[in-house]
Amino acid sequence: METTTAQALEILQDNHYKLTKQRKSLIGFLSTHRERYVDITKIDSYLRQLYPGMSHNTIYRNLKEFEEIGIVETHIENDQMQVKYQCDYANQHHHHFVCQNCGRVTEIQMCPIDMSFFESQLPGAEITGHRFELVGLCAECRAAKNDSK
């Protein structure tokens, strides 16, 4: 189930965050980038154009808080933090396929990782999560690549 803007605003309220115009603008911007990760610097530029007095720290703090409550997902690409709107708030544990050409992100709902395998190798450790991501060419980019040959 795709997370809607209304759901994101409800999540903010449920977690006792004020629905400021800046947060609403941030959610609005992210909702237009549902299928791709966006560099935080692009988000920063957009919000600082709308709200010139808004600090970088406020933007980054809000994104971190949004991640903690499940509104956004994060990703590192070339040492750059990127975020995207949560694919599915009801199913936060999922993984992705990311097209290396167009950047489209596709949700993979099955988790292929058996945590007991890792727990046995890390006696006494507490594993609190993991990330799994497949990369390659999406069907459209693969077809376009084959057509150009």
31 and 5 Cβ atoms separated by less than 8 Å: yes
Q: 87 labelled as ligand-binding?
A: no
> How confident is the prediction along the chain (149 residues), in pLDDT tens digits per residue?
455 788 889 999 999 999 999 999 999 999 888 888 999 999 999 999 999 999 999 999 999 999 999 888 888 888 888 898 876 656 666 777 888 888 888 888 777 777 777 888 888 888 877 777 888 898 999 888 888 77
Bridge partners of residue 77, in order along the sequence: 80
Q: 93 labelled as ligand-binding?
A: yes
Domains of the chain: 5-88 (1.10.10.10), 93-147 (3.30.1490.190)
d(CA 16, CA 94): 26
Name the region of 17 (left: φ>0; alpha: ψ -120 to 50; beta: rest): beta
Can you tell me whether residue 10 is helix, strand or coil? helix
100 and 136 Cβ atoms separated by less than 8 Å: yes
